[in-house]
Amino acid sequence: MSEWAIEACGLTKRFGDFAAVSGLDLKVKKGSIYGFLGPNGCGKTTAIRLLTGLLAASEGEAKLFGQSVLQNSDQLKSKIGYMTQKFSLFDDLTVRENLHFVASIYGLSRAERRQRIDQLMTDYDLTERADNFAGSMSGGQRQRLALAAATIHRPPLLFLDEPTSAVDPENRRDFWEKLFDLCDSGTTILVSTHYMDEAERCHQLAILEAGIKRVDGSPQRLMDEMSANVVEVSGSDLRGVKRALELNPMIQSSAQLGAHLRVLVDKKEADPLQWMTKHYPQLENRVVLARPSLEDVFVNCTGGSGSRQ
């Protein structure tokens, strides 16, 4: 038995001359949460569709639980749950009707269906909404309904494409609690996001840009191994300091966060504080070292086109 829920090797998808995903290598351990982090259009949805077998790859291969996605798509269907980026249930059906519909597609028996739907409505706080139309519910409730539907057949592997883009931070936190419950019971989850805080919750993640995986690893490892030190600059004329710093090739990026400038200094400089005050004497007593964040990693490896949370 393979220890991997997902394996991909050189996975590539071209639309005409344009490569939406290029040479993606991936290994996702069973029972873990793996994140795809990247800006709009970087290829997250395309990669998920390749891994689920909904799109055929131009090159490369993907396996789920050791089985080729291309050759075993029928057998693998029952092992996969897929929550698409757009709400894909029926607005003019009630919560219960939507779940009945999905359960019938997955071939659950009548008795099993009723029991499973009641259980899911309890688990996802939907019981009071059972007879409400999906179209009349809030973003958070619709998202819980979509997750209930995606898990109705108890798939061991879940693909979630930007599942929380339409919900507020509190609902997002609750949603992640549900994901960790699923993970705890053995489900493997691949989730795409452009939120840094969400990516930080994943066991492992890959940062994608322009269809290419730039780095992967645990959030902590990515932060530890970043090729830059983070320096915070305070004081006056931060806009002028930023303009001056950005001319220097040792400065990978600088961004103002409130009353500070957050600066990534190439790790080739062993002592970034000394280096900065030597080259910019006006920064004497105005610089401190800061702990790297996942956003710093993102900026460091992509040039910084992601969104901030």
Give residues in contact with ligand ATP (CB under 6 A).
Answer: 15, 20, 38, 40-46, 85
Q: If residue 162 lies in a helix (H) or strand (E), which one and from where to where? A: none
Q: Are 11 and 62 in contact (CB under 8 A)?
A: yes
Kindly state the smallest distance separating residue 18's Cβ from ligand ATP, in Å: 6
Tokens of 13: 């998808």
Comparing CA positions, the residue from 149, 140, 92 lying closest to residue 120 is 149
The C-alpha atoms of residue 140 and residue 35 are separated, in whole angstroms, by 21
Closer residue to ligand ATP, CB minimum distance, 189 or 238: 189
Kindly state the smallest distance separating residue 102's Cβ from ligand ATP, in Å: 23
Closer residue to ligand ATP, CB minimum distance, 55 or 130: 55
Closer residue to ligand ATP, CB minimum distance, 41 or 169: 41
Q: Which amino acid is at 239?
A: R
Phi and psi at residue 204, to the nearest 5°: -135, 155
The C-alpha atoms of residue 73 and residue 64 are separated, in whole angstroms, by 10
Tokens of 143: 């998202």
The C-alpha atoms of residue 191 and residue 264 are separated, in whole angstroms, by 28
End-to-end CA distance of the chain: 39
Q: If residue 51 lies in a helix (H) or strand (E), which one and from where to where? A: helix 44-52
Which residues face 157 on adjacent strands? 80, 188
Kindly state the smallest distance separating residue 78's Cβ from ligand ATP, in Å: 25
Closer residue to ligand ATP, CB minimum distance, 52 or 229: 52
CA 95 to chain centre: 27
Kindly state the smallest distance separating residue 97's Cβ from ligand ATP, in Å: 28
Closer residue to ligand ATP, CB minimum distance, 35 or 272: 35
Residues 6+ apart with CB under 8 A from 109: none
Kindly state the smallest distance separating residue 197's Cβ from ligand ATP, in Å: 17
Kindly state the smallest distance separating residue 28's Cβ from ligand ATP, in Å: 18
Closer residue to ligand ATP, CB minimum distance, 83 or 264: 83
The C-alpha atoms of residue 46 and residue 39 are separated, in whole angstroms, by 13
Kindly state the smallest distance separating residue 15's Cβ from ligand ATP, in Å: 3
Closer residue to ligand ATP, CB minimum distance, 146 or 276: 146
